[in-house]
């Protein structure tokens, strides 16, 4: 009997998934001691390397010591999202996967991960255990699809030495965006032919939250139902603010300046190297400061708000890594036992202290704060508790939407489009995408 093209495609996908899984397992076998006989093997795929990977490995080792009947095998997987989805499609998924919080909607809508409601209920895991955004990102359409591992929040990091050299008080960082702009102007230095030598602030650096600037001015990206709202007055105001830096610095000078930045994880990082004095960054930035610029005098405060919008004070961007049980996992019960351990105060503090991040749990031990090396760890813990916490929209088309917003940011930053033109292009492109996506979900019975 001759296989149909669809059957051949499915077979090919299954074989590819098997190769992915087999390669990962083989590489891990070379470095991992054999577990005790009789223990249930739980395969755990995670993306972290170096100190972040070491922190999770310490959690895994502690779990394995305390649970002799379950042995978690931790495998480091590159491009983990695609490989996990491929393995699910091929019927050979891991038992646990460490994925990305902003993509929960996509995982859920694709039926790629298990619903964890009953597991959480049995384990006594509930929303009140968590700082709100870190639970919300794992909760979608009335169900729990994931639980947080390492969370993150952002704040304005600033170089005290450069502020002082510019005649500014390093103990009085900006509170409003207008103050940020004024301080940035004083810190910025130009060389011959208007070449840029140092920037006070650049929305394009590091360029990881190009999609989110509208929130700082009261904007939103969708109405939570079926309407894309990229072309809102607040979003246009944000992109106008972004573009004014390109006009001040000069678009070509800005691009030349940025081309001289080193890798993020290096001493030539623009903030660590003193090329950019103020920068929106996450709790993880302490790790790179301590490693590559230990002598840097720096501080962290909530990102400034528009002077006419004090209601937007203390805004932060929240993100998290997550743990899921992929559909088709061989040992879902044992997999959740491990996830439950990570969600415990003991497991979570071991992980977050190892990665030098804040905990997503409301209950944190005094020792965690006393021993934490980041002097601003309470700031990063407290900011997500406020009302102005920004989370990526829960949209199955979020990866495409984010790409469209990044393109709009670049168009505005390069002075190729006005803010309204760039955002209208996003609106016109993404509304039909959302309409079609929702239509497919209705056809499948996922939504009414």
Q: Is the pLDDT of residue 126 over 60?
A: yes
Quote the CATH superfamily of domain 155-317+395-438: Periplasmic binding protein-like II (3.40.190.10)
Is residue 199 pLDDT above 80, yes or no? yes
- Model pTM? 0.90
Give the pLDDT band (50/70/90) at residue 447. Answer: confident
Would the pLDDT of 16 be above 90?
no
CA 385, 390, 396, 400 dihedral sign is negative
CATH of domain 5-152+318-390: 3.40.190.10
196 DSSP β-pair partners: 190
**Quick one: which of 104, 56, 89 has its CA closest to 354?**
56
- What does pLDDT average to over the chain? 92
pLDDT, one tens digit per residue, over 94-110 is 999 999 999 999 999 99
- Region 172-198: mean pLDDT is 97
Within 8 A by CB and 6+ apart from 9, the residues are none
Write out the H or E segment, with its range, that includes residue 319. Answer: strand 316-324
Provide, rounded to the nearest whole percent, the portion of the chain with pLDDT above 70: 92
Q: What is the pLDDT of residue 36?
A: 52
pLDDT tier at 31, thresholds 50, 70, 90: very low
pLDDT surpasses 60 at 422: yes
Place of tokens 């930045």: 261
Q: Are 224 and 136 in contact (CB under 8 A)?
A: no
Average pLDDT over residues 17-35: 46
Q: Distance between CA 161 and CA 277 in Å, rounded?
A: 9
**Every domain range in the chain assigned CATH 3.40.190.10:** 5-152+318-390, 155-317+395-438
Predicted confidence band of residue 217 (pLDDT cuts 50, 70, 90):
very high
Identify the pLDDT of residue 249.
93
Residue 38 is predicted with a pLDDT of 82
Task: Choose between 2 and 196: higher pLDDT.
Answer: 196
- Distance, CA of 53 to CA of 59 (rounded, Å): 10
As given in the structure block, the two tokens for residue 305 are 């708000």
d(CA 104, CA 394) in angstroms, rounded, equals: 7
pLDDT at 11 over 50: no
Mean pLDDT of 323-348: 98
């Amino acid at each position: 009997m001759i296989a149909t093209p669809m059957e051949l495609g499915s077979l090919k996908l299954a074989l590819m998934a098997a190769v992915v899984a087999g390669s990962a397992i083989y590489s891990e076998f070379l470095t991992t001691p054999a577990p005790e006989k009789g223990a249930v093997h739980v395969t755990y795929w995670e993306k972290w390397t170096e100190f972040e990977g070491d922190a999770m490995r310490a959690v895994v080792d502690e779990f394995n010591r305390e649970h002799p009947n379950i042995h978690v095998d931790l495998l480091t997987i590159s491009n983990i999202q695609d490989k996990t989805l491929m393995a699910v499609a091929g019927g050979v998924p891991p038992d646990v996967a460490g994925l990305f919080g902003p993509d929960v909607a996509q995982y859920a809508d694709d039926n790629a991960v298990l619903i964890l409601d009953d597991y959480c209920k049995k384990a006594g895991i509930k929303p009140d255990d968590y700082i709100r955004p870190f639970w919300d990102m794992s909760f979608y359409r009335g169900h729990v699809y994931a639980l947080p591992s390492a969370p993150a929040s952002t704040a304005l990091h600033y170089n005290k030495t450069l502020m002082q050299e510019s005649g500014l008080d390093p103990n009085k960082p900006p509170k409003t965006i207008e103050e940020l702009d004024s301080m940035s102007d004083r810190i910025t230095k130009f060389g011959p032919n208007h070449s840029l030598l140092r920037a006070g602030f650049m929305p394009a650096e590091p360029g990881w939250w190009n999609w989110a600037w509208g929130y700082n001015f009261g904007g939103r990206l969708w109405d939570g139902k079926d309407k894309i709202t990229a072309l809102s007055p607040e979003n246009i105001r944000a992109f106008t603010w972004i573009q004014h830096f390109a006009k001040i610095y000069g678009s070509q000078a800005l691009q030349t300046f940025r081309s001289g930045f080193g890798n993020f994880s290096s001493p030539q990082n623009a903030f660590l190297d003193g090329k950019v004095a103020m920068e929106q960054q996450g709790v993880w930035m302490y790790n790179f400061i301590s490693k590559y610029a230990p002598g840097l005098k720096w501080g962290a405060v909530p990102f400034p708000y528009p002077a006419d919008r004090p209601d937007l004070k203390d805004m932060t961007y929240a993100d998290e890594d997550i743990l899921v049980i992929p559909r088709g996992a061989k040992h879902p019960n044992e997999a959740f036992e491990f996830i439950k351990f990570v969600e415990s105060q003991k497991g979570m503090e071991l992980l977050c202290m190892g990665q030098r991040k804040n905990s997503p749990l409301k209950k944190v031990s005094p020792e965690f704060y006393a021993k934490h090396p980041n002097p601003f760890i309470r700031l990063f813990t407290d900011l997500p508790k406020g009302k102005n916490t920004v989370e990526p929209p829960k949209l199955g088309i979020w990866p495409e939407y984010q790409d469209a917003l990044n393109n709009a940011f670049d168009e505005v930053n390069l002075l190729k489009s006005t803010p309204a033109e760039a955002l209208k292009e996003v609106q016109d492109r993404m509304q039909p995408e959302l309409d079609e996506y929702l239509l497919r979900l209705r056809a499948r019975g996922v939504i009414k």
